[in-house]
Amino acid sequence: MLIAVLSGFGFSLAAIWIARIGRLRGWLFALLPLILTLYFLSFTPAIIAGEVITASYTWVPSLDVQLAFNLDGLSWLFALLVSSIGTFIFIYAGAYMADEPLVGRFYAYILIFMASMLGLVLADNLITLFIFWELTSFSSYLLIGFNHKDDAARKAALQALLITSGGGLALMAGLILLGLAGNSFEISTLVAGGGVAEHPLYVPILLLILTGAFTKSAQVPFHFWLPGAMTAPSPVSAYLHSATMVKAGIYLLARLTPVLGGTDLWHLLLPAVGGLTMLVGAYLSLRQVDLKRILAYSTISSLGSLVFLLGLDTPLAAQAAIVYLVAHSMYKGALFLIAGIIEHETGTRDVTALGGLARIMPAVTLAAGFASLSMAGIPPFFGFVSKELLYETTLGLQDTAVLFTTLAVIVNMIMVAAAVLVFVRPFTGAIVETPQTPHAVPLGLWLGPLALGTGGLAAGLLLSQVGSTFIAPAVSAILAEPIEVNLALWHGINPMLILSIVTVLGGLVVYRYRHVYERISSRLDTSERWGPAQWYERGLDAVLMLGQLQTRILQHGYLRVYLLTINLVVISLVGITLVTRYDFAGQLPSTDLHFHEAVTAVIIAVAMIYVLFARSRLAAVVALGVVGYGIALIFVFFGAPDLAMTQFAIETLTVILMVLILYRLPSFANFSSRGQRTRDAVVALSVGALITTLVLISTTIVQPSLLTPFFAENSVTEAQGRNIVNVIIVDFRGLDTMGEITVLSIAALGVYTLLRLRTPSQRKVDLTAAVETGEIAEKGKSEEAEGVQ
């Protein structure tokens, strides 16, 4: 299972070279998700029998983080959706992006996403789940912004990243609290433990986790990032924004239902947010003319329906949610792919500028017909079953049956109208002239949509097998108990069937009078001025303004102000703490100062004072050398000859280098006033007094050293060195030393580059001098001048 998850990451490393194969690249890339699909299908008998397949690898034992995977009915179903739909997406992308020069990069990104999504749905450890969760956000950012030269794509990618990553931070906090509250970070252990509803931290845990799930699954008020992400290539929209990534939040809620569900807060928040999202998404979908934006807003509505159903927390609601999820993944994935085909062939996605494509694209038209019928909930398609289960669920409620059923009917009417719109306008009627002349669609483009559309029909015709094989294990995993699922197309004349008929007829009426709908809604809609998208823009502008302000105040480039600010903060915080909390009476150690030590200290102090008043750089360097040599003498007095030798060598080298360099610089000049120097002197003396006090206090604290005996015992046996200080530097802390050397080397390269830097005016002066001396010809001068310019 670990190989199955990590294979996508490994394959992505070779994506750039595989993409050079040519037109068959899509079929070759599709082999990996196809193999993964067959691998997960091999577990079908075990999953139907109720078995759970686990695999665990120690990852970060100090933090109790296991790379643990759990394949039960729910994760198995999601893994199949990710891998099987991915197979068709990879084939489709090969034809859709046949002339894209960066197609190898695209496949690398989407392979990373597929692997991340598989890791997310299979993870049995909360920390592992979170890491894969964030990897899906990161890879989604790369895919949405794939057309990086397009300003709209870059903006949409950033928007999606900020919103989903912000929710990811909340999710991280919630998952950590959940692990602490449940005494385990293993999801299976938390499920077996019966949940944390009685824990004092339940409310913050639930709110934080819901924030992460709602941002990922585009729930109101975080929904606006999803339509913006439609700037991504159509394979991305079909894979991420209809079938997989936006379902990650749904998966998380379903997975944690046994742990967090069953409370009044759960039953309040999820139906409320999901119901509002259902309505808002449906309402906005019918106001669009861009095919992908119609599908995006209808996807938001469907995601709201899933959250709504999970919030009801009943066996029938869980069954309806899984059926709806599978049906939506198939028909919406197909429709997004079809929208990409239309744009690819005609050069537009505007439904008002399309028509008559059925004569040119028969296979695509068939696929679009199947997918639209399933979306509209027409029997015998699987979408019809999901709609009837939704109605059966709402009608079975006690206090809110009328309210929630009415909401479901209104939303589904609009969804029917949207389904009719995305099929009728592009494919029926007379052929409309488009920016590009459409032609026959290649197999790689229409295969995926037709397979997904036909899948919705096949699932509706094989309900008994689909229910027992795919739906029942997933529902059982959500409810943490075995559930029998019996699906059927015909239950006789019942309220659900009547509501379905009313929904279809009402949807046709809404489509017929869509212009009235648009006119009324445009007058009432204030989302363009006061919607969450506008608040996001204002918030982002405020953050940038704050960043500019703090840069001007705190990061203006003046080192002296940086030092002054840091020292004042240290004095304030540490000094106040010492004065208010430390009893100095009898605490400071007595001094046992010898004459030679006192003389050395006085010499160091005098030399330091001289540095401050020196008028010559050379004199200041010499005085600093005296300070360094004085410190070396202190090392000798206290039994550290090796440190003293090092200090002598460094001071000698430093003095020589500084003398060679600094004598070239001009004399000192006063850049600060007397008042500024007085202020700096007070701050400097205060810092010195504070550090001196801290050092004296630290000498009174006697604690046994764990490092001293360790280094003494292991320096010879482990590092083959008798000089313990050297062994620490080059062996026990060798990485630290290497890092310091690296930093110094980079700094030296930077200094060298600055010294070698020549401005254009200096280059012109050098060029003129070279011409005058005959080093280069006049022709070379003009060419060089162009280069300078």
Sequence-distant (6+) residues with CB within 8 A of 428 are: 355, 356, 358
Please give the tally of structural domains in the chain: 1
Residue 762 lies in a domain: yes
- What is the C-alpha to C-alpha distance for residues 311 and 303, in angstroms, rounded to an integer? 12
The β-bridge partners of 66 are 58
Type and span of the H or E element at 739: helix 734-756
Higher pLDDT, 534 or 38: 38
- What is the C-alpha to C-alpha distance for residues 776 and 150, in angstroms, rounded to an integer? 44
Q: Is 376 exposed, middle or buried (0-12, 13-18, 19+ CB in 10 A)?
A: buried
Amino acid 320 reads: A
- What is the C-alpha to C-alpha distance for residues 325 and 333, in angstroms, rounded to an integer? 12
Amino acid 591 reads: T
Give residue-wise pLDDT tens across range 339-348: 999 999 999 9
Give residue-wise pLDDT tens across range 34-61: 999 999 999 999 999 999 999 998 888 8
How many other C-beta atoms lie within 10 A of the C-beta of residue 782?
10
Residue 421 lies in a domain: no
With contact defined as beta carbons under 8 Å apart, do 349 and 291 qualify?
yes
| Res 530: pLDDT | 74
* In the chain, % of residues over pLDDT 70: 95
Residue 756 lies in a domain: yes
Confidence check: pLDDT of 81 > 80: yes
Domain with 738 in it: 708-789
Mean of pLDDT values over 380-384: 96
Amino acid 395 reads: L
Give the total residue count for the chain: 789
CA 21 to chain centre: 31
Mean of pLDDT values over 534-563: 88
Residue 62 lies in a domain: no
The β-bridge partners of 781 are none
Confidence grade of residue 788 (pLDDT, cut at 50, 70, 90): very low
How many other C-beta atoms lie within 10 A of the C-beta of residue 708?
10
CA 421 to chain centre: 34
| Res 771: pLDDT | 67
Residue 303 lies in a domain: no
Amino acid 778 reads: E
- What is the C-alpha to C-alpha distance for residues 302 and 369, in angstroms, rounded to an integer? 19
Q: What angle do CA 101, 104, 108 make, to 5 degrees?
A: 145
Amino acid 241 reads: H
Considering the chain, what is the average pLDDT of its residues? 90
Amino acid 309 reads: L
The one-character DSSP state at 69 is E
- What is the C-alpha to C-alpha distance for residues 619 and 623, in angstroms, rounded to an integer? 6
Mean of pLDDT values over 294-299: 95
Give residue-wise pLDDT tens across range 583-613: 776 666 666 788 899 999 999 999 999 998 8
| Res 202: pLDDT | 96
Amino acid 414 reads: I
Confidence grade of residue 561 (pLDDT, cut at 50, 70, 90): confident
From the list 289, 315, 516, 308, the residue with the least C-alpha distance to 411 is: 308
- What is the C-alpha to C-alpha distance for residues 232 and 554, in angstroms, rounded to an integer? 38
Type and span of the H or E element at 524: helix 514-524
Q: Is 27 exposed, middle or buried (0-12, 13-18, 19+ CB in 10 A)?
A: middle
Q: Is the peptide bond before 221 cis (omega within 30 degrees of 0)?
A: yes
CA dist list (Å): 243 to 146, 181, 259, 325: 19, 33, 25, 9
| Res 591: pLDDT | 67
Mean of pLDDT values over 279-296: 93
Confidence check: pLDDT of 774 > 90: no
Confidence check: pLDDT of 789 > 70: no
Type and span of the H or E element at 60: strand 53-60
The β-bridge partners of 186 are 125
Residue 245 lies in a domain: no
Higher pLDDT, 642 or 385: 385
Mean of pLDDT values over 495-503: 95
Confidence check: pLDDT of 461 > 90: yes
pTM of the model: 0.80
- What is the C-alpha to C-alpha distance for residues 510 and 418, in angstroms, rounded to an integer? 9
Give residue-wise pLDDT tens across range 384-437: 999 999 999 999 998 899 999 999 999 999 999 999 999 999 999 898 989 998
Give residue-wise pLDDT tens across range 343-366: 999 999 999 999 999 999 999 999
Confidence grade of residue 241 (pLDDT, cut at 50, 70, 90): confident
Confidence check: pLDDT of 762 > 80: no
Q: SS3 for 221?
A: coil
* 233-250 residues labelled b (16+ CB within 10 A) or e (exposed): bbbbbbbbbbbbbbbbbb
What is the token pair recorded at 332?
């919406």
- What is the C-alpha to C-alpha distance for residues 220 and 280, in angstroms, rounded to an integer? 8
From the list 360, 356, 348, 350, the residue with the least C-alpha distance to 435 is: 348
The one-character DSSP state at 246 is G
Q: SS3 for 312?
A: helix
From the list 308, 302, 300, the residue with the least C-alpha distance to 267 is: 308
CA 735 to chain centre: 30
Query: What string of H, E and C letters represents the secondary structure of 426-488?
Result: HHCCCCCCCCCCCCCCCHHHHHHHHHHHHHHHHHHHCHHHHHHHHHHHHHHHHHCCCCCCCCC
Lowest average pLDDT, out of 7-21, 81-95, 498-512, 765-779, goes to 765-779
Mean of pLDDT values over 640-662: 85
- What is the C-alpha to C-alpha distance for residues 130 and 167, in angstroms, rounded to an integer? 11
Residue 33 lies in a domain: no
Mean of pLDDT values over 369-385: 96
What is the token pair recorded at 443?
């197999």
Residue 754 lies in a domain: yes
Confidence check: pLDDT of 777 > 80: no
Longest dimension (CA), the chain: 109
What is the token pair recorded at 327?
């049906």
The one-character DSSP state at 123 is B
How many other C-beta atoms lie within 10 A of the C-beta of residue 171?
27
In which residue are the tokens 């079953």 written?
A: 385
Q: Is 639 left (phi over 0), alpha (psi -120 to 50) or beta?
A: left
How many other C-beta atoms lie within 10 A of the C-beta of residue 84?
23
Q: Long-range pairs for 662-665 at CB < 8 Å and ≥24 separation?
A: 662/617, 662/618, 662/621, 663/617, 663/618, 665/617
| Res 661: pLDDT | 79
Phi, psi (rounded to 5 degrees) for 65: -105, 120
What is the token pair recorded at 27?
């079929």
- What is the C-alpha to C-alpha distance for residues 335 and 341, in angstroms, rounded to an integer? 10
CA 142 to chain centre: 10
